[in-house]
Amino acid sequence: MHITIVPGYQGSPPEQWQSRWEADLPNVTRIAPSSWDEPELEDWMAALDRAAGARNGQTVLVAHSLGCLAAVEWLHRNPDGARGVFLVSPPDPVAASFPEVVGTFRNPRLQELPVPGLLIASQSDPYCALPAAQSIAAAWKVPVIDAGELAHINEKSGVGYWQQGRDLLTAFTAGLGEPAALG
């Protein structure tokens, strides 16, 4: 199965788990918006069109942080655009920690997703308290997994390759009918 990586604000540096998974997994594409540092929602939608749109729905979106909000919006616009979506540490758009520079992402659709999804949240995420993540997951009608005290589940969290997340992704894709999808 194909994987489309949807990083968050400013992309994913080489030491971040998304970059490490991209280097390790077969059939991976990363979105490439031109607005990493001053994110514009429509630019990210176009980047998702380029990265995932050509897959005719045969991809799983693997999103982190702001990328979760982009992935969800893209799926609402393209309900058959992916087999599923794996959402890690979405930011709370009403929290004081939500960066001003990403204002075009401030009003995400909080309605049922058109594809299966899984949301992974941390008890200590500075951008989204666990109760807010649980509320977001409930609005999207996806299960939420409490990953423990992992901050924002990024390179600064010290998770490295983040094997726990990789195992969750493997289980998630198996549930989509692709048991050997991630090798």
Q: What is the pLDDT of residues 84-107, one digit of tens each?
A: 999 999 999 999 999 999 999 999
pLDDT (0 to 100) of residue 179: 42
> Is the pLDDT reported for residue 178 higher than 70?
no
pTM: 0.96
pLDDT (0 to 100) of residue 181: 45
Torsion 107-37-92-25 (CA) sign: positive
pLDDT (0 to 100) of residue 104: 96
Whole-number percent of the chain with pLDDT over 70: 97
pLDDT (0 to 100) of residue 182: 57
Structure tokens at 57: 């729905």
> Is the pLDDT reported for residue 141 higher than 70?
yes
Q: Quote the Cα angle for 51-153-36, to 5°.
A: 40
CA atoms within 13 A on the CB side of 59: 28
Q: What is the mean pLDDT of residues 114-129?
A: 98
pLDDT (0 to 100) of residue 1: 84
Mean pLDDT of the chain: 95
Q: What is the mean pLDDT of residues 119-146?
A: 98
Contacts of residue 69, defined as CB under 8 A and 6 or more positions apart, other chains included, come to 90, 91, 93, 105, 108
Region of residue 153 (left: phi > 0; alpha: psi -120 to 50; beta: else)? left
For tokens 């520079």, name the residue. Answer: 101
> Is the pLDDT reported for residue 83 higher than 70?
yes
Q: What is the mean pLDDT of residues 70-83?
A: 98
What is the residue extent of each domain of the chain? Answer: 2-175
DSSP 93-139: TTSTTS-GGGGGGSS---S--SS-EEEEE-TT-TTS-HHHHHHHHHH
The CATH number for 2-175, chosen from 3.40.50.1360, 3.40.50.1820, 3.40.950.10, 3.30.160.60, is 3.40.50.1820
pLDDT (0 to 100) of residue 145: 98
Q: Quote the Cα angle for 9-51-183, to 5°.
A: 95
Contacts of residue 45, defined as CB under 8 A and 6 or more positions apart, other chains included, come to 70, 73, 74, 77
Q: What is the mean pLDDT of residues 122-140?
A: 98
Q: How far is CA 35 from the centre of its chain?
A: 17
Q: What is the mean pLDDT of residues 11-39?
A: 96
How many other CB atoms are there within 10 angstroms of residue 177's CB atom? 9
